[in-house]
Chains A and B, each alone.
Chain A
C-alpha cells in the first residue's frame, strides 16, 4: 500500500488527539503497518482548532503531515472548510451532520453522520464521541480490523471507562456499516458537486 492520509479535525476538547493516537496504534502496533501520527493545536485546551494526522504506509513514512487527504473527519464547520480542499478526488469526507451544514463542492465521497448526537443521546456521554470517530474512521479507511481497534481502545482508556468506550466504538462501527450498506445499495450518497 502506498501512503494513505487520515486527518481528524475539529476543536479542542473533542478528544481528537487521543482518537488519532488510537487509530495509529490500531493500524501500526496491532495491524503491523508503518504509521506516523502528528497533532496540531492552538494554545487553548478547550475550543480552538485542533487536528491530528495519521499517515499509513507499507514503507516507512517520510513526511508525517498530511498533504493530500484520503480520509478527512471534520467535527466543525471551520475544520471542514479549512481541510476539505486537500481531499483527493476519490477521498472520503466524514462530517458531523449537526455541526457541519455546508459541504464545499468536490468529487470526494461524502459521509454525513450523527456522531456527536450518537454519543450524547444513544450513549448518554458526549465525551465518548471521539471513540465513535475511531470506529467510523477505522471501518471506512479499511486499514484496521475491528479486533485491533478494540485492543487499541482498551489499552488507552482509563480503567473503569472501558465499557462505555467499547460501546462507543461499536456505535461508530454501526454508523459506518449503515453508510456502507446504503452506498452498496445504490443510494446517492456519493456526492459530486
Chain B
C-alpha cells in the first residue's frame, strides 16, 4: 500500500489492518484455510509473519486450523486464525475446547451471507448468535465488532489483549464491507496501542498447578517446553488439569469461567453513543451498519428528528446494562442489523417489553443504507406522533 513519505498516513484495507495489528499485538502464529471474504488476512500474514520470526501455515481445513492455533498458543505463541461463516461453523468445537482448556487465541470471522455457502462475497451480520452460542456446553464468549479498518486494527490488538489477559478465545466479528473497505489511517497513532501478555508462572516447576486460578480467576499459563510439565484436556478437569467427575470441582470451574469474564465486564464492554443526550429515538447498530446509521442521523436531524446512535463495539458480553439505561431516556429504539434479528433479542431483553422497538433488518447480501434507516426513523415518528 502506498505510504506518503512525509508522514505515516496509509490508505488501509480492513483485512490488511487486521493482519498488521496482529503482528503489532505480538501474534507469531497463524493457521488458516482459504475462504472469502477473509483470505487477505492469511495472505498478508503469510508474508508478514516470517519477517518477525513467526510461523504461518495453511492447514487442510478450518478444524485443523484452530487446532494448530491452540497448539501453538499452548507452546507459548500468541496465535490466531481467520475465516468466514462456513469455516466458523467448523471451528466451533475447538472454540469450546479453547474456552474450557483456557487457551488464549483470536478467531476472526469475516461475516458473509448465509446460511450454508450462502453469498461468499457479500456482507452479512448473520453470525452474531453463533459467536455467542455456537459451541456445545456452557461458556461465556467475547466478540468484538469493528466498524472501520482503523477500528479493525484497534480491536485486533484488543482481542489479543483480552485473550491473553483472560486466557480465553476472542472472536472478531467483522462484516465483509469493513474487511474490504479502505480508509485513511495514521499508522503512527496506532503503533502506540498498549499490548498485554499472558502471565507466566514464577514458582518452581514441580509445584505448578496448571489450573489454580489467581485473584482474577485466571490461572497463570506455562508454555509447554518451559519445564512445567502438566496435562491439558477438554474433559472436565481439576486444578492439576486431570480429568474429574467430581460435581463440586466441575461446578467451581464452570462458575470461574464465567466469573473471570464477568468481573471485568465493565472493561470488556465498549460502545459509543452519538447525539443521544437530546434524542427521542436512538438507532442501535454495529459494524458497517453503524456507519450507515451515522449518515442517517445527519439526514434525520436535518428533517427535525432528534435521532441518536448507540454503537455496540463489544457484542459479547452484550451491553445490556447500557441499553437498559438508554431505554430509560428515549421514546423509541430502532435496531438495525444485517440479519433478521439477532442483537434485537438482546436489545428487547435489556430494554424491557414496554419499550417500543422498531427494526431495520436486512439479509439479502446488500448493506443497509442510510436512507433505509432514515425511513424507519421517519415512519415510526409519524405513527408515533
Contact = CB atoms under 8 A, between A and B. Distances in A.
Interface of A: 21, 24-25, 28-30, 34-43, 61-65, 67, 152, 155-156
Given A29-B184, A41-B121, A63-B291, A24 B11 contact: yes
B2 A36 contact: no
Contacts of A30: 4
B180 A63 contact: no
Main DSSP-derived SS at the B contact region:
mixed
A38 B180 contact: yes
A29 B294 CA distance: 24
A25 B294 contact: no
A43 to B, nearest CB: 6
A61 B2 CA distance: 20
A180 B383 CA distance: 50
Interface in B162-202: 177, 180-184
Given A29-B11, A35-B11, A63 B184 contact: no
Given A30-B4, A41-B121, A42-B121, A62 B294 contact: yes
Interface of B: 2-4, 9-11, 36, 120-121, 177, 180-184, 288, 291-292, 294-295, 298, 367, 369-371
30 contacts: A21-B11, A21-B182, A24-B11, A28-B11, A28-B184, A29-B4, A29-B9, A29-B10, A29-B184, A35-B182, A36-B182, A36-B183, A37-B183, A38-B181, A38-B182, A39-B180, A43-B36, A43-B121, A62-B291, A62-B292, A62-B294, A62-B295, A63-B370, A64-B177, A64-B181, A65-B177, A67-B370, A67-B371, A152-B2, A155-B2
Contact of A63 (B11, B182, B292): B292
Contacts of B11: 21, 24-25, 28-29, 35, 37
Given A21-B11, A63-B291, A35 B121 contact: no
A161 B123 CA distance: 34
Q: Name the 5 nearest CB pairs between A and B, nearest first.
A: A62-B294, A37-B182, A155-B2, A38-B181, A62-B295
| Most chain A Cβ neighbours within 10 Å, of B10, B180, B371 | B180
Given A63-B294, A64-B291, A43 B181 contact: no
Given A63-B369, A67-B371, 4 more contacts: A35-B183, A37-B183, A67-B370, A156-B2
Nearest to A152: B2
A35 B2 CA distance: 14
Nearest to B36: A43
Contacts of A24: 11, 182
A169 to B, nearest CB: 15
Contacts of A63: 291-292, 294-295, 369-370
A131 to B, nearest CB: 15
| Residue among A21, A28, A34, A41 with most chain B CB within 10 A | A28
A40 B177 CA distance: 9
B369 A67 contact: yes
B121 A61 contact: no
B181 A25 contact: no
Contacts of A28: 11, 184
B120 A43 contact: yes
Contacts of B292: 62-63
A64 B183 contact: yes
B283 to A, nearest CB: 13
Contacts of A35: 11, 182-184
Contacts of B298: 62
A29 B180 contact: no
Nearest to A34: B184
Contacts of B180: 38-39
Contacts of B371: 67
A63 B298 CA distance: 11
B249 to A, nearest CB: 50
Contacts of B10: 29
A65 B295 CA distance: 11
Among B2, B120, B292, B370, the one with the most A-chain Cβ atoms within 10 Å of its Cβ is: B2
Contact of A65 (B4, B182, B294, B369): B369
Most buried by B among A29, A43, A155: A29
Contacts of B295: 62-63
